[in-house]
Each structure stands twice: as C-alpha cells, then as structure tokens.
C-alpha cells in the first residue's frame, strides 16, 4: 500500500546552506545529508521561471523560491503538486505574519520559532490547519504560556 505523504521539507539558502529540515519518514543522518546535498544541487541549478516540479528517484519534488530561500518538498507520486505549491505559499505567509516581513535572517536567528510554526501547520507530512489565523493564535498563546514560565523562573527570589 503506497504511503501517500510528504517525505521531507527543506529550506535551502541561495548559497546552499540548510536553514530548516523536517523529515517525515525515519531516515539515517547519513541519508539525510545525502538527500540534502542532492536537493541543493538540483534545485539551485534550476533556471528562473522554470517549472516548479521535478522528478527525483521515485519522488516528486516541488520547490519554490522566496527571496533568498528555496522551499523544497519531496512527495509521493500520488500527491497534487499544485496544492503543495499552495501549502508552501501558506507556510511562507504564516512566517511572514509572525515575524513581520520575514526574511532569511529571521529564520536563521529564530529557527526554533520557524519549527514551532511548522509544527502547528503540518504534522506527519499532512496539513494540520487550513485556517490562516489559527496558527498565529496558537503561537501567541503558547508564547504567553512560555513567557509566564520564564518570568516566573527569572523572578528574583527576594
């Protein structure tokens, strides 16, 4: 029975640095590095205005460039590539809303936040939330919870 899902989501910089990696299937560290390398070579070499879909091994690769970052997904053959483009678009919009005009540096210096947002958006390679606002709200509330804790932790003992 083919497992229809996203296998991975990678964010690559123009210089080929990895900015975020999410793997939805169990993969060894070595294999991860190999896949990342190959994705970097393939995707960064694409000329502008190319088709956003590639075939690689037995997966479909959907990628989209946003400013200096390439968002790159590996999908099973059965998936709807056009919809995946929309998924990537939505993730970028969520990041943008959270960080305010997000740029690569935001994702570098606040990578944990980028992951937290991703985890409110995709789970196990499937879309978790389709509402534009719900993810942002969840992040805010989680942050409040966190701050409360930190405040408490850093409160002077006297």
Partner 1 sequence: MSPSVRLQEMIRVIRGARTQGEERGVIQRECAAIRAQFRQADNGTRSHNLAKLLYVHMLGYPAHFGQMECVRLIASPRYNEKRVGYLGAMMLLDEKQDASLLITNSIKNDLSHSSQYVQSLALCTLGCMGSAEMCRDLAPEIDRLLRASNSYIKKKAALCAVHIVRKVPELGELFTPASRSLLSEKNHGVLHGAVVLITELCERNPETLEQFRKAVPELVQIMKGLVMSGYSPEHNVAGISDPFLQVRILRLLRILGRNNETASDAVNDLLAQVATNTDSSKTAGSAVLYETVLTVMDIKSESGLRVLAVNILGRFLLNNDRNIRYISMTSLQKIVQTDHNAVQRHRGTIVDCLKDQDASVKRRALELSLALVSAVNIRSLMKELLLFLSSCPPELRAHTTSGIFNAAERYAPSQRWHIDTILHVLTTAGGDVRDETVPNLIQLITTATELHCYTVHKLYRALIADISVQSLVQVACWCIGEYGDLLLRGECEETEPVQVAEDDVLDALETVLQSHMSSPATRGFALTATMKLSTRITHNVDRIRSIVSIYGSCIDVELQQRAVEYNALFKKYDHMRAAVLERMPVIDKSSPGHTNGESAGGSIKEMEPTKRTQEVVLPQEPANQVCDLLDLLGGSGEPPQPSPALSTTALGPVSSTAGGDLLDLLGGLDVTPVPPSVIVYEKNGVTLKLQTDRQTDTGMTITLTATNSTDREITSLTLQAAVPKSVQLQMKAPSGDVIPAHGLGQVTQTVLLNNPNKVSLKMRVRVCYTSQDFVCQDTVQIDSFPSPAW
Site residues for partner 1 per CB under 8 A: 1, 3-5, 17-21, 23-24, 26-28, 33, 49-55, 80-83, 85-87, 89-90, 108-109, 111-112, 115-116, 119, 123-124, 126-134, 138, 141-142, 145-146, 149-150, 153-154
**Distance between the two ends of the chain, CA-based, in angstroms?**
62
The smaller minimum CB distance to partner 1, of residues 3 and 67, is found at 3
Q: Quick count: other Cβ atoms within 10 Å of Cβ 129? A: 15
CA distance 19 to 105: 10
The smaller minimum CB distance to partner 1, of residues 27 and 92, is found at 27
Q: Whole-number minimum distance, CB 154 to partner 1, in Å?
A: 8
Q: Phi/psi zone of residue 18: left (φ > 0), alpha (ψ -120 to 50 degrees), beta?
A: beta
Q: Whole-number minimum distance, CB 101 to partner 1, in Å?
A: 19
Strands (E), 14-145: 18-23, 53-56, 59-66, 69-75, 122-123, 126-127
The smaller minimum CB distance to partner 1, of residues 101 and 153, is found at 153
């Amino acid at each position: 029975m083919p497992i229809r899902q996203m296998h991975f989501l990678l964010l690559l910089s123009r210089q080929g640095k990895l900015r975020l990696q999410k793997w939805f299937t169990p993969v060894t560290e070595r294999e991860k590095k190999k896949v990342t390398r190959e994705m970097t070579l393939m995707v960064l070499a694409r000329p502008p205005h190319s088709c956003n879909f590639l075939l690689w091994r037995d997966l479909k690769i959907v990628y989209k460039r946003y400013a200096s970052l390439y968002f790159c997904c590996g999908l099973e053959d059965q998936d709807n590539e056009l919809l995946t483009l929309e998924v990537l678009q939505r993730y970028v919009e969520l990041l943008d809303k959270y960080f305010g005009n997000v740029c690569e540096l935001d994702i570098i210096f606040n990578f944990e936040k980028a992951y937290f947002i991703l985890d409110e958006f995709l789970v196990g390679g499937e879309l978790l939330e389709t509402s534009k606002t719900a993810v942002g709200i969840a992040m805010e509330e989680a942050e409040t919870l966190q701050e409360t804790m930190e405040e408490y932790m850093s409160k002077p003992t006297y």
